[in-house]
């Protein structure tokens, strides 16, 4: 398939056969799976996934790729094409039986909002395998106290087990991006690691805490908590957000929820 990559869609097409094989092996698709691929592009992993699973749904925004994908995949299995923006797709409507297995080479320019969009629908997702900017994968897997740890780390790790799998060099793509990529597995928890009374409040607390990383919690969370309330939860008001784990953020959010009620 020939198609000039479009910068406005953040297109970098995977072409390295060794990387493609490694990706497909990591996903390990089965005929019983309900697979959804975001951004199939030229079909580098679409074809092997479709051959292994027998059926596959793909979400592609660039309509010029739809026709060539249909031709390329017509003898490989049952392909369902959705010409849509993945940020607007209700993923839970794509299955009525088994939870979704979502895969894709996510455009770097929308990767974070797309991850949050998927997290909001994690109840109908079994797992996710994504190619992302390596810096984003480092943030997803970061632990408290590290420079990469932040809002994305907390909110994703509240919902999912995060497993970075391997790094992908720029040369595996055409055109090569200016950054390294990495392949990551996200598995939504069947039982969340902490109890949160109001998830919107958790998101608010985490966002405000990390809005200015150098601020102490007493300053960053001003307007949400008095200093003594933070201390009574066993959290140091002089600490910065980057040292708090998910349990501490949950405790803060639950405190705010109880006070509101």
What pLDDT is stored for residue 198 in this prediction?
A: 96
pLDDT of residue 259: 81
pTM greater than 0.85:
yes
The CATH 1.10.8.100 portion of the chain extends over 199-260
- Encode pLDDT of 6-53 as tens digits: 444 445 678 899 999 999 999 999 999 999 999 998 888 999 999 999
Looking at the chain, the domain(s) classified CATH 3.40.50.150 span 7-188
Helix (H) or strand (E) holding 157: helix 151-159
Which CATH number among 1.10.3720.10, 3.30.70.141, 1.10.8.100, 1.10.540.10 corresponds to the domain 199-260? 1.10.8.100
Of 61-70, 142-151, 226-235, the poorest mean pLDDT is in 61-70
pLDDT in tens, 156-171: 999 999 999 999 998 8
Measure the N-to-C terminal CA separation of the chain; round to a whole number of Å: 58
Topology of domain 7-188 in CATH is Rossmann fold (3.40.50)
74 exposed, middle or buried (CB, 10 Å; 0-12, 13-18, 19+)?
A: exposed
């Amino acid at each position: 398939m020939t198609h000039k990559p479009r910068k406005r869609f953040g297109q970098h097409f995977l072409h390295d056969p060794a990387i493609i094989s490694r990706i497909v092996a990591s996903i390990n698709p089965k005929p019983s799976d309900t697979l959804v691929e975001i951004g199939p592009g030229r079909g580098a992993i679409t074809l092997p996934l479709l051959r292994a699973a027998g059926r596959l749904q793909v979400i592609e925004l660039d309509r010029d790729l739809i026709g060539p994908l249909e031709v390329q995949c017509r003898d490989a299995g049952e392909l369902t094409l959705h010409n849509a923006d993945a940020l607007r797709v209700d993923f839970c409507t794509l299955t009525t039986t088994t939870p979704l297995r979502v895969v894709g080479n996510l455009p770097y320019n929308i990767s974070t909002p797309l991850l949050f969009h998927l997290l909001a629908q994690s109840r109908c997702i079994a797992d996710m395998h994504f190619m992302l900017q390596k810096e984003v994968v480092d943030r997803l897997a970061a632990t408290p106290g590290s420079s990469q740890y932040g809002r994305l780390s907390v909110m994703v790790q509240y919902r999912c087990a995060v497993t970075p799998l391997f790094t992908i060099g720029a040369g595996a793509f055409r055109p090569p991006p200016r950054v390294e990529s990495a392949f990551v597995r996200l598995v939504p928890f069947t039982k969340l690691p902490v109890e949160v009374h109001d998830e919107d409040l958790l998101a608010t607390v985490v966002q405000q805490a990390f809005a200015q990383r150098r601020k102490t919690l007493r300053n960053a969370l001003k307007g949400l908590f008095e200093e003594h309330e933070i201390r009574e939860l066993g959290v140091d008001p002089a600490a910065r957000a980057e040292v708090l784990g998910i349990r501490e953020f949950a405790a803060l959010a639950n405190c705010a929820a109880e006070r509101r009620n």
